[in-house]
Amino acid sequence: MKLFTAAFLAVVSPLAACSVSVDEDHRDSTADVRIFTPVGQVLVRTGGEPDTGLAVYPGSTRLRKHREAEAADVMVGNSAFGVKVAAANFESDASPEVILSYYRNALEAHGSVVECRGNIDFRRSGLVCRQRLFSRTTQLAVGTEEKHRLVSVKRRGTGSEYSVVYVQTRG
């Protein structure tokens, strides 16, 4: 019985030390969620200006897809490891070619740009394009497995729909 009690306390005690905070503002569609546990934390901010390190193409507007937020900053981790993701969705009257040219130039400040019609894998050896023959999306990427930026662009009517993402990992 003592062993069961000790095991139960070992599992339940960390949960009692958790704290959750949610701040939501319906006027500007933003939300902040903070979860702190003994083993790490999760921080989520939606609707604000995510820190992707890239400027928004002039004249673009935020795009909400289905029920997801137009933009989000997410951080998960502790002192030993972590992941930060900043992402935003936009639409523009500009063609995909114009959007791609704008971001190709912006990304060059961060390193060698990989362009891919398909998906890009981020590996220790570098960025790898997995071409998809009939992909409607073109992706631009720069960086390493631990720290990279990605822009994904596709046609939307006579304009474009695109996403800008920044990912940083540690540990």
Q: pTM for this structure?
A: 0.78
pLDDT, mean of residues 18-24: 77
Instruction: Return mean pLDDT, the chain.
Output: 83
Residue 4: the pLDDT is 39
Residue 6: the pLDDT is 40
How many whole angstroms from its chain centre is CA 147? 12
Query: What are the helix (H) ranges across 50-156?
Result: 96-107
Most confident of 4-8, 47-51, 140-144: 140-144
Virtual torsion, Cα 84, 31, 99, 110, nearest 10 deg: -20
Q: How far is CA 103 from CA 46, 112, 131, 166, in A?
A: 23, 13, 20, 13
How many whole angstroms from its chain centre is CA 17? 28
Taking the C-alpha atoms of residue 41 and residue 62, their distance in angstroms, rounded to an integer, is 28
Q: What is the pLDDT of residues 91-106, one digit of tens each?
A: 999 999 999 999 999 9
Taking the C-alpha atoms of residue 113 and residue 68, their distance in angstroms, rounded to an integer, is 28
